[in-house]
Chain A
Amino acid sequence: MNIPLNPKTPEYKLAQECRAGNQAAQHNLYQLYAKQLMVLCLRYVSNEEDAKEILTDTFVTAFRNFSKFDYKGEGSVQAWLKRIAVNQCLMHLRKNKLRFEEIKDKHEGQVNNNENVLEQMSAKEIMQLIHNLPPGYRTVFNLYVFEEMPHKDIAALLQISESTSKSQLYKARQLLQKQLIQQKKEIL
C-alpha cells in the first residue's frame, strides 16, 4: 500500500528547496545531516582529513544530483545522503587499492564476543576497535553491521563473491573478539 506523500513535511519542503538550488536550504540540509554522515565516514576511513574530504564530496554530489532524487517519504533524504556517503567512502577506498583476501577456511559461525565489555565501552573506543581492523574486513563489517546490507548486496557492491564477503565478516568478528578480550583484561 502506497503511503501518500505529505507535501507539508519539513523534509519534503527542504528537499524541494534544495532541488531548486536554494543555498540557504542546502545549508540547512548540511547542518541537519553533516554530523551523522561524518560519523559514517569515520567508520570507513580512519583518517580524519580523508573523512572530511569524503563528507565534502558527499554533499557536493548530493547538491549536483538533487534533480535525480525521488522523494519517497519521511527519512528518504537521509537514506539517500547515507547511500551517497557510503559510495564516496568506497570510491576513496578503491583509490587506495582496497583488497579482499580470499580466506578458504571456515567463514561462518558464532564468535563469542564479550557483550558485557562491549556495553561498557564508549563510542570512541568502539570506533577505535573498528579502525584497528584491516580495510577489507572493516568495509564488509561496516556494510553488514551498520548499513544492514545482506552479503549478496555487499558482494555486488564490492565486486567480490558472496563467500569472500562472509569470510571477511567472520575474520572481522574474530579480530574484534580478540581486541575485546584484551580490553577485558585491561579493565580487570
Chain B
Amino acid sequence: MNQHIDELLRDKMKGASIDELMESYDEEAIWQQINKKNRPLLKAKNLYGMQYWRYAAILILGLLLGFYFDKNKETEVLTEQRISTGKAHMDTVFINTPMPKITPMTSSFPAKKTNQIRVIKSMHKESGDNNEMPLVQETRTEIRQEEKAIVLAVKKEIRVVYFEDIQMEDKALATISEKKSRRKLLQVNMPQSKEATSQELPLRSFVYALNQ
C-alpha cells in the first residue's frame, strides 16, 4: 500500500515542471551566481610546496616585525638621551669620557690625543715638510675647543659632573629597562651575605665572577 503511494508520489514529482512549483525561477541569474562563486580566488601556483602568496605574506610580516623592533630601539635610545639630559640642572655639564677631576689646585688639563699628534708629527718630520698637516691642525683645534669649554665651565663655577663619580648616574640609568634588568641580574648572582658559598648555579657564579 505504502509502496504504491510512494511510486505515485515519485511519478507526480518527476513530471513536475519548475514553472509550476516556483513563481520566480531565473535560471540565468543562478548561473551568474554560480560563475561568481566558482571564480578562482588566487592562482594556487606552488613553489617548493607552498603558494607564492604565502611567501609574500611571510616576507611582509618579517619586514613589519623588523620595522617595529627597529623603531622601538630608536625610541629607546632617544628616551635614554632625554632622561639623562632632562635630569641635569641648567648649570651642570656632563662628560661621558672619564677624565681626571679638575680642581682650581690642579688646573692643568691632560693633553688629549697627544700620542696621535706625536705619531703624525714624527711622520711629518720624516717626510721633511715643516708645515703641519691638516689632520694635525684639525685635531689641535678640536682639543683646544674642548679645553676652552671646560675652562669656561670652571671659570663660571658651573658644576662639572662625571658619570663615574656621581650617584645620580644610577638614578638616571635606573629608568632604562634594559640596564635595569642587567643590574638585577648582577644582584641575583651575588651570594647571600650569610652564606659561606654561593647557592647559585655554576654558570651564574661564572658570570658573576666575570662581572666582578
Residues of A within 8 A of B (CB): 23, 27, 30-31, 34-35, 38-39, 42-43, 48, 52, 55-57, 59-60, 63-64, 110-113, 115, 118-119, 121-124, 126-127, 144-146, 173
Contact = CB atoms under 8 A, between A and B. Distances in A.
Interface string B18-32: 101111110100110
A56 B13 contact: no
Q: What 4 A-B pairs come out closest when comparing CB atoms?
A: A123-B16, A35-B18, A145-B6, A60-B37
B9 interface: yes
B107 interface: no
Given A118-B12, A123-B16, 6 more contacts: A38-B22, A39-B13, A48-B23, A123-B12, A123-B15, A146-B13
Nearest to B34: A59
B21 A42 contact: yes
B22 A48 contact: yes
Contact of B16 (A39, A111, A144): A39
Contacts of B4: 115
Interface in B6-58: 6, 8-10, 12-13, 15-18, 20-25, 27, 30-31, 33-35, 37-38
Residue among B1, B21, B22, B30 facing the most chain A CB atoms (10 A cut-off): B21
Interface of B: 1-2, 4-6, 8-10, 12-13, 15-18, 20-25, 27, 30-31, 33-35, 37-38
Interface of chain B: mostly helix, strand, loop or mixed: helix
Nearest to A119: B8
Contacts of A112: 1
A110 B16 CA distance: 27
Contacts of A31: 27
Contacts of A55: 30
Nearest to A55: B30
6 contacts: A56-B37, A118-B9, A123-B13, A124-B16, A126-B13, A127-B16
